[in-house]
Chains A and B, each alone.
Chain A
Amino acid sequence: MMVWALWWFGVLHLLLLDGYVSRLTGWLPAPALAVPLFCVLFARPGALPGLLAGAALARSVLLEGNAAVHVLILGVPVAALLPFRTVFAPGSILWQALASGFLAFMLPRVASLLFRITGEGAPVSPATSLEILLAMCVVPLWTRLLRAVPPMRTFEDEQP
């Protein structure tokens, strides 16, 4: 229970850090991308609803749109990548880079699509090729840092 409370309050601080990093450098990929990448690669399937709900709620505080929209923005790409766990090992660097690139590509597009349909949220510019390439290189490092935070071990999948 304590771990979940730490997650629900802690993910908000991760997004604040994301905003702070964005202010310092416009080119560094968003640290918040580590959350969906963690869900795709390492999270326990049973923990996914709580992880996504907490992240969506935190995003709805700091970004435009309600929590339901952010659940879909985060959850749809995660659901699309989850089946590839049978193909790639979570420790594979290639798999981490590909998944990071896919998330950097898909998240803005899903957000813009939902904005066009529902009017919730905000239109987001699609990521450029350079931004996707940087995400492929840097976001796995962000995820490694996120996994080093003690409560995150509780959410990791023990089965290979």
Chain B
Amino acid sequence: MRQSTGSRLFPVGLYATLLVGLFGITFPAFLAPLENTARAVVCLPLRAYGWILGSGTVHAAGGAPRWNDALLAAEATRALESARGPVGYHPRICRVRDREEGPSGRVDVLELAATCGALRGAASPVTLGPALVGFLELGEDDRAPARVRLLHFQPRRRGVPLRVGAPTLPVRVAAQVECRELDARGVLRFLVEPARRVDPGALRCTALDDAYLAARLRHSGDLATTDIQPGDATVPSGLQLGRLLVFGYPRLGIPVGLFVEPLHDPRAISSVVVWGRQRAGVEGPRAAPLAGRFEPVQLVRYPAPRPVGERWMIRCGRSLPLADGAALVGGGHLLGVLRTPWTGQSLVTPFAASSRMWALLLLGPRGRVAELVGRVVEARGGEVRIELSGRPAEFAGTLFTGANGPACPAGLALGPATPDASHLRMQLSPEPCTDPQVFVPDAIGTGDGR
């Protein structure tokens, strides 16, 4: 049957397909099961080629990972540097296992690699160095992972809020900042609460005790610290909250609002200090890496279109539950992460071809360590250029992964890195990978999470 010109030039099927695509990017979780099934079917030829071409020998058993002791020690030193906690409590360093993004679009919950039962009785404030990071949240289930609500945590709304009446107030922290400007001197006291998505800072200052002093502020950057908390005696005063941000037209004498930007990027935090009643063991309060083991796999490389260049596929010797985002290591270095795994096989995104945000740890000379967040923007000739988000790197050193999910733990080596303005240049390992292994995490409650 001859179609009309209009239906041939503007076919309904094509536009319906585009609408489905728009729906898919708006609600990716809705189409994910269907897409994963279709992708597994389309990948059947690759799976067959993997069986034929699979390289390397599958060993009988995997092994425990070897972690960099210098990095663990440097992280512990940094976490406990100038740390202050409640009186009668002792510090315990806990690994960050996962993160959760809130309604504001910022990460505002950290999931720890320790159970609620292991941290029962711990104090509410969670610190990192001299800074207050958030508050400990322990559920009723002792086996559930403990969580940290960051200072800018916003409650999750489920469904349509029908209740009218008194609104739920956000968690507020009493704070103070010492103003040192020529015509604005003194201590300004206020409350900080979570800011909105459109606000320039993560925390908003409210209930200022001296509006006239606040109105004379011109410069941002002063350090805000905790004041005495009337509702929580366990929060010491003097803990750092962040840098004061004067928003508006301060040079014209019109500051519109005051905000506080936390010192630590929540996307980069890999370990925090929880204050418990029990003193740490003989080794001191060092954070053990995430409990897990590395399982050997076979690795097959396929050519891929630009800009990726190469796509990998792994096959396990045994049927193991492979996690999406699990780390693939080889030769002591992170090679990439698993993507859409199915039983016994998975596609792998090489680190140099990944476009996701990475939490990173840069270990420098004399035990210096920096927590960074960045994305790979260029990979050429064995060198990778990482664009950092937020704080730039101040020294050269060895780059490691930060906490990038339950199956991609902190402490996996990447390579030597040097700073380049707001970027990092990192050298990839030139040695061919002869022993690819996948990280399989243990359940929470074993290892560090006792």
- Are A22 and B35 CB-contacts (below 8 A) given A49-B13, A82-B9, A86-B9? no
- Of chain A, the residue at the smallest CB distance from B357 is A119
- Select one of B25, B42, B308 contacting A114, CB under 8 A: B25
State the majority secondary structure of interface residues on B. Answer: helix
Since A68-B20, A71-B24 are in contact, a sample of 13 more A-B pairs with Cβ atoms closer than 8 Å, ordered by chain A residue number, is A18-B304, A19-B304, A22-B306, A30-B305, A45-B7, A48-B14, A54-B42, A63-B308, A67-B24, A71-B17, A71-B21, A86-B9, A120-B28
Chain B interface size, as a band, is: 35 or more
B13 x A46 contact (CB < 8 A):
yes
- Of chain A, the residue at the smallest CB distance from B11 is A45
- Are A19 and B309 CB-contacts (below 8 A) given A57-B42, A68-B23, A72-B21? yes
**Contacting chain A: which of B152-160, B284-292, B348-356?**
B348-356
Interface hits, B1-41 → A, CB 8 Å: 2-3, 5, 7-11, 13-18, 20-25, 28, 31-32, 35, 38-39, 41
Interface hits, B360-404 → A, CB 8 Å: 377
Which residues in B have their C-beta under 8 angstroms from that of A83? 9-10
B183 → chain A, closest Cβ, in Å?
Answer: 43
- Select one of B3, B17, B377 contacting A53, CB under 8 A: B17
Scan A19-57; emit 1 where CB is below 8 A from any B CB, else 0. Answer: 110110000001010000000000001101100111011
Q: In the complex, A49→B14 CA distance in Å? A: 5
Asked if A128 is at the interface (CB within 8 A of a chain B CB), the reply is no
Asked if B302 is at the interface (CB within 8 A of a chain A CB), the reply is yes
Asked if A145 is at the interface (CB within 8 A of a chain B CB), the reply is no
Q: In the complex, A86→B22 CA distance in Å? A: 28
Q: In the complex, A69→B349 CA distance in Å? A: 17
Scan B271-315; emit 1 where CB is below 8 A from any A CB, else 0. Answer: 000000000000000000000000000000011111111110000
Q: In the complex, A19→B353 CA distance in Å? A: 14
Asked if B45 is at the interface (CB within 8 A of a chain A CB), the reply is yes
Q: In the complex, A118→B32 CA distance in Å? A: 15
Q: In the complex, A124→B309 CA distance in Å? A: 12
- Of chain A, the residue at the smallest CB distance from B23 is A68
Q: In the complex, A49→B11 CA distance in Å? A: 10
Interface hits, B219-269 → A, CB 8 Å: none
- Are A64 and B303 CB-contacts (below 8 A) given A53-B17, A58-B42, A159-B8? no
Scan A105-141; emit 1 where CB is below 8 A from any B CB, else 0. Answer: 0000000001100101111110000000000000000
Q: In the complex, A48→B309 CA distance in Å? A: 27
Residues of B bordering A, CB below 8 Å: 2-3, 5, 7-11, 13-18, 20-25, 28, 31-32, 35, 38-39, 41-46, 302-311, 347, 349, 353-355, 377
B303 x A19 contact (CB < 8 A):
yes
Interface centre among B23, B46, B305 (most CB of A within 10 A): B305
**Contacting chain B: which of A7-15, A89-97, A148-156?**
A7-15
- Of chain A, the residue at the smallest CB distance from B302 is A16
Q: In the complex, A44→B310 CA distance in Å? A: 33
A75 x B18 contact (CB < 8 A):
yes
B14 x A78 contact (CB < 8 A):
yes
B10 x A82 contact (CB < 8 A):
yes
Which residues in B have their C-beta under 8 angstroms from that of A61? 39, 42-43, 46, 311, 347
A105 → chain B, closest Cβ, in Å?
Answer: 15
B261 → chain A, closest Cβ, in Å?
Answer: 22
B305 x A19 contact (CB < 8 A):
yes
A121 → chain B, closest Cβ, in Å?
Answer: 7
B306 → chain A, closest Cβ, in Å?
Answer: 5
Asked if A79 is at the interface (CB within 8 A of a chain B CB), the reply is yes
A12 x B42 contact (CB < 8 A):
yes
Asked if A3 is at the interface (CB within 8 A of a chain B CB), the reply is no
- Are A48 and B24 CB-contacts (below 8 A) given A60-B35, A61-B42, A62-B302? no
Which residues in A have their C-beta under 8 angstroms from that of B10? 82-83
A48 x B304 contact (CB < 8 A):
no
Interface centre among B22, B44, B355 (most CB of A within 10 A): B355
Asked if A85 is at the interface (CB within 8 A of a chain B CB), the reply is yes
Which residues in B have their C-beta under 8 angstroms from that of A15? 304-305
26 pairs, CB–CB < 8 Å, chain A vs chain B: A9-B44, A12-B43, A15-B304, A18-B303, A18-B304, A22-B303, A22-B305, A30-B305, A45-B7, A48-B13, A53-B17, A57-B35, A57-B38, A57-B39, A59-B305, A61-B347, A66-B25, A67-B39, A68-B35, A71-B17, A71-B24, A72-B25, A79-B15, A82-B9, A122-B308, A125-B307
B28 x A66 contact (CB < 8 A):
yes
Q: In the complex, A20→B23 CA distance in Å? A: 33
B46 x A12 contact (CB < 8 A):
yes
Which residues in B have their C-beta under 8 angstroms from that of A78? 14
Q: In the complex, A75→B7 CA distance in Å? A: 17
- Are A75 and B14 CB-contacts (below 8 A) given A60-B35, A63-B304? yes
Interface centre among A32, A67, A71, A82 (most CB of B within 10 A): A67
B302 x A72 contact (CB < 8 A):
no
Which residues in B have their C-beta under 8 angstroms from that of A118? 25
B21 x A75 contact (CB < 8 A):
yes
Which residues in A have their C-beta under 8 angstroms from that of B38? 57, 67
A20 x B25 contact (CB < 8 A):
no
A9 x B45 contact (CB < 8 A):
yes
